[in-house]
Structure 1
Amino acid sequence: MSRKSVPASGAYPPASAAPVPRADIPVAPAPAPASASRRRAARGADAGPGLAPFARARLVGDAPAFRAALDIAGRAAHVAAPLLIHGRTGTGKEQLARAIHYSGDRAEQPFVPVNCGALTESLLESELFGHVRGAFTDARADRDGLVAQAEGGTLFLDEVDALSPRGQVALLRFAQSREYRPVGAPAPRRSSARIVAACNGDLPAAAALGDFREDLFWRLAVLVIELPTLAERPGDPSRLAAHFLPAICRRFGLPAKRLSPAAEAAIEAHDWPGNVRELENFLQYAVVMTDGEVIDLAPGRSAALTAGAEAARAAWPQPEIALGPGTARPDPHAGGAAQPSSGACAADPDAPAIPAPTGGFHEAKAAAVARFERDYLRAVLARAGGNVTRAAELAGTERRTLGRLLKQHGLRGAPDGSA
């Protein structure tokens, strides 16, 4: 693939070569070694490509798609090349980034996570690059930014696709030159921090639309790891459940609990749209609400077990566990009162009507989003009198972005040249 153009939507650049085969790494049950010397010993001087045993032990899973991601991660741990981790929410992007950091030569240096979605526009450069005393009204002393804090280690940029255009420019300049200038400083400073970025959106599509800088995309996506969803990891939901349950019971001070075969099968059948985070949330609830030592399904739920993820999703938001008589998981919209358990959701009489779905979930969602975009664009154009520049201001987006959306939906602004 040519590096002169952004790949098509959903297509991330492949690794330059297939991962080099390596021996399976034994899984150690102990947590990460506490001291630098023990970390070095755990990694091993001649270990070759791969994640350190203590780091691999924290990444539970053996599905082929997950193992393929870990193979690339093992190679990425031993080079300083920029890395982009893509995965849906809850797939464990930060955990993987930490495992990569603590498996390589930078393990003794800081790992600094940054939530790009939380960086405010006004303080963005100060947060990233720091400032010197007197740079602005409240700058009463010199302050290191996140880049300086990550010196020699890893700067982990989570939700990098949420960066504003100004933030993208600042990050591009740093990624290209490895230099940054604290706000108010007379001269730039150099950094040896490694950049590891993560996103859950379609970054190639955003770059193709102009919502994310193409040049920044290529700077970040030297190595790319695609983390699979739990639905793409057969066998791993039950492995994760077995991993989480003892720790959850200890954390809550409760006796050990285990899943019944039916509950384990239900966990495997469910597709877990919230991925590992949702699974852990469900297990915490199940541990607290189950009186005995066996977490089981509610009566009448076993019929959906063999029908796969679609039937499971239709039957319950999450697998229903067997609770005490007259008890059900509370409805968050019912004022905290427990409601009788049901296989279907009760309709909200005040909710807007939703057309009956004719395809799968993702197709229905895409159609709903398209309808919303069309209606919103028509409304904001009407408010702006057909002026696209004014409409973009009202929408809080760039004019070129709004223009592309208008073209995509076959809409036009005023005929006086402002479109």
Structure 2
Amino acid sequence: MARERAVLVLNAGSSSLKYAIYNFLKEGTIKRTVQGLVEQIGTSRSSISHHSLTGAPIPGADAAGSVKLATELADHKVALQKATEYMHHEANLHIAGVGHRVVHGGESLTASTLIDKRVKGLIQEHSALAPLHNPPNLVGIEVAEQLFPVPQVAVFDTSFHSTMPEEAYTYGLPFSLYKELGIRRYGFHGTSYLYLTRETARLLNKPPEKLNAIMFHIGAGASVAAIKGGESVDTSMGVTPLEGLVMATRCGDVDPSLVKILKDHKGLSPDDVDTLMNKKSGLLGLTGTSDMRTVVERAAAGDAQAGLGLKVWVHRARKYLGAYLVHLRGDVDAIVFSAGIGERSVVVRQMICEGLERFGIEIDNAKNEDVKKKGGDISKDGSRIKVLVVPTDEELCIAQETIRVIDTVG
């Protein structure tokens, strides 16, 4: 690179704004220099937490370069303006582009792309598939366009899974619903899977296009993906992030007839059922808490309900693991664990891999206990399939994609 460039990464929610700055240095390294979060935008309880990783002299910051300010921020524009005030204290800051996390790209936006009027129109069009996410993502784009007159790039959660074959993404519904409404399986956490695919290939010293793996992105939101030749061939989430694994508050796979049963016997409307399945189910509904750490601790202490919730969660994860072993015909280089639970829960990793030696999956309990923040190989020496803990970094991936798109279009 001829000069150092920085990318601002934005993730706009309905009442929040998460941001980070990555510097692309001349020698080819990438360094995160800023991270921040604005919460409760549009309320009297709004606040901003900003952290400089360079030690920039920010008014009101503590010795670690962090500042937290409770202040009323009326909308996303005001929030980003406030964050920008802090960013401008960074030395030699040159924002070359802004990368936006966008949840749903549908079938028309299947790769990271430069944002223009057409792209914004398609993001709006796909809001029907992600009504809670795409509209605030679009607000973030429009605000950033006003404040930063540089290339804006959209990076989609769904795009990584656009390589799924028809038989993997098509539902057993009347085909007309797919043609008319785009009802099919899309998958999510794609930015994480893109990062994990590249990083796992690097760790195994393989070209990404030669990598076959089963990857668990398991945090509050949880999914699993089958990767063949570096591409997604199946994933557990569907037309929305509700399908698939049991999650913190989402139920994952259930019989669709429950919608009618709950209407008939509990008087719940479709909207009520949607709220129940997305916000009141999963670990929360089974155990009373959405925190896997608490569930594991209570289960170890003999709490039967927590023990059941944990077993239900693991049972569903192993069900998908078995299916994807079949999809990949047993030709798997690695099982990868990532995100909050995947990176931190010794117990969950051990339970998912327990008793799978005949399938070539052998976990070393001592390594599993000792794996640190940077992750590592937790499989036994000689295990045919590696078992890896690989910390994900979706923001870094968005920054990398942003620079790649900018450089590609010239």
Using the size of structure 1 for normalisation, the TM-score is 0.23
TM-score (norm 2): 0.23
- Who wins on radius of gyration, i.e. which is larger? 1
Structure with bigger strand share is 2
